[in-house]
Chain A
Amino acid sequence: KAGVTQTPRYLIKTRGQQVTLSCSPISGHRSVSWYQQTPGQGLQFLFEYFSETQRNKGNFPGRFSGRQFSNSRSEMNVSTLELGDSALYLCASSLLYRGSIGYTFGSGTRLTVV
């Protein structure tokens, strides 16, 4: 059974650019959540999608957006990149939309903004 797949694994972007990260959940999982992980702030919740609808959103500026497709694959987009956006972006999928029995995480996309 394939796990959660995130692409790309590594990304280097310049300030002001935009970036799109992709996440393919485990087959059958309809909930996808995104987290930002940094040494200083730890794991910060970005948003959660279920059945193509954003169900929950964290406290991030509008430059951070996402979407989910009918096959449950999800993308997140960050526009006008800032140096502080450098982080590991983790995607997690779950079977129950409430995430109640825990997430399965991908390996993450390491974004470096220079």
Chain B
Amino acid sequence: GEDVEQSLFLSVREGDSSVINCTYTDSSSTYLYWYKQEPGAGLQLLTYIFSNMDMKQDQRLTVLLNKKDKHLSLRIADTQTGDSAIYFCAESHYMKTSYDKVIFGPGTSLSVIP
């Protein structure tokens, strides 16, 4: 079945790097995503990676994908207090008889200590 797991909480000091980890079970996953949710808001797409890529970098964000272990990570360099939010890992894949749906993990609440 489809399942995405993440640790629920992470606390880091301002200026340090944050690493948020995610594991997924569906080996046919095609796309993997990281979303950010701030209090009272919807989810904001931060970045995504195709399953045939190992790494993607976008400014302070680095996504690493280990397809063999079905492990995805998001590294935030120089973490700022404004990065405090819930981060969701998500995956989607093609289905033979239907269309993709996106499966989300439970979210990791990142707290940045000034």
Contact of A64 with B by CB under 8 A: no
Of A4, A33, A105, most buried by chain B (CB within 10 Å of CB) is A105
State which size class the interface on B falls in. 20 to 34
A98 in contact with B107 given A43-B88, A107-B41, A107-B42 (CB within 8 Å): no
B33: CB under 8 A from chain A?
yes
Does B43 lie at the interface of the complex (its beta carbon under 8 Å from any beta carbon of A)? Answer: yes
Residues of B within 8 A of A (CB): 30-31, 33, 35, 40-45, 48, 88, 92, 94, 98-107
Q: CA of A85 to CA of B98 in the docked complex: distance in angstroms?
A: 27
Contact indicator B45/A55 (Cβ below 8 Å): no
Q: B99–A50 contact, CB under 8 A?
A: yes
- Which chain B residue has the least Cβ–Cβ distance from A43? B104
| Chain B residues whose C-beta falls within 8 Å of the C-beta of A48 in the assembled complex | 99, 101
Extra 6 A-B pairs, beta carbons < 8 Å, given A33-B102, A56-B99, A90-B43? A33-B101, A56-B100, A100-B92, A103-B102, A105-B35, A107-B41
Q: A residues 1-43 with Cβ under 8 Å of B? A: 4, 33, 35, 42-43
Alpha-carbon distance between A106 and B43 when the two chains are bound, in angstroms: 8
